[in-house]
Structure 1
């Protein structure tokens, strides 16, 4: 009997060690309430219309920037986020050439290797960019126009 209990304890101990090794904690990404996670970023659509600068300021206060878009998947995701939340025809994204004409940058400083301008755009109507909600293509508008907008922030690790 003693041998059997000892074997059982040994087996449980080995099993516990193996379980501890095989289930190392995985780092997960988390977003604040009402924000939506994609990859390692959090997104939120803001329905209140604001100028480009005011929209960027609100995003900064919330801990992020106007959304930067790095690929087609992210562009489609942002489009669906806007469509799901309201009936806006367009919304600000964080792309602008206000500093130097025809030299577009993201307000969060991220890489600008992806663009999705509509045919004939940008046409120098303005220095700030909106996403059109009918097709997800981009258009430059006057920065003092008012639209809804999307913010982005890095997701936190836990």
Structure 2
């Protein structure tokens, strides 16, 4: 028969094993908890990144571009005509392309448009009444942009000069007879 001492010793050994296993179980549970939190954080990050990829793919599909031959600048497309014509013919051509003659809104756009200024092209500025200039979008010529008129311009030389062009030699604006024939610059919104 097993002695009481052996049973007591065996019980103590089992108790130590139980404590050891309990400690190891606690360590494993703690590690599992840390790993579970890490997994949950990774899943949250994955979901966030997947949503961002979806959003960027959608934006890419909406990316707007200019048609062949047109140049993009700050969200608009520009082209210099290859033929000459009156200011009204120029405007009709731009409209048939889905745009209008260029409207210059600020210094940066003026600098950009000057890159098209060969052959003194028409721009979308016209005199409504003597001394009152308006852009084709209906906005009046702002005082900030009047500095782009060439020296002594607009001068209505010889009478009937009511349409604006960029003087190729001076990189400034000039008023001219609307029936004269020049190249022109069209501007339009980009396409999807």
TM-score normalised over the length of structure 2:
0.67
Aligned mates of 2:46, 2:69 — CA distance in 1: 39
Name the CA shift for 1:134/1:20 in 2 (closer, same or farther; >3 Å). Answer: farther
Partner of 1:155: 190
Q: How many corresponding residue pairs?
A: 148
Counterpart contact for 2:121–2:165, Cα < 8 Å:
yes
Deviations 1:110-136 (A, max 9, x none): 453223101100001300011012232
Higher relative contact order (CA 8 A, sep 6+): 1
Q: Which residue of 2 aligns with 1:123?
A: 155
More strand by share: 1
SS of residue paired to 1:81:
coil
More helix as a share of residues:
2
CA gap 1:110/1:34 in 2 versus in 1, 3 angstroms: farther
> How far off its partner does 1:19 sit?
1.1
Contiguous gaps of at least 5 residues in structure 2: 1-31
Take 1:45 and 1:58, find their aligned partners in 2: how far apart are those partners?
11
Q: RMSD across aligned C-alpha pairs, in angstroms? A: 2.6
TM-score, normalised by the number of residues in structure 1: 0.80
**2:129 alignment partner, one of 84, 100, 104:** 100
In terms of Rg, which structure is larger? 2
2:176 equivalent in structure 1:
141
Instruction: Flag structure 1 segments of 5+ consecutive residues without an equivalent.
Output: none
Deviation at 1:34, TM superposition (A): 1.4
For the residues of structure 2 that align with 1:44 and 1:111, how far apart are their CA atoms? 23
**Retained in 2: the 8 A contact 1:76–1:136?**
no
1:33 is matched with 68
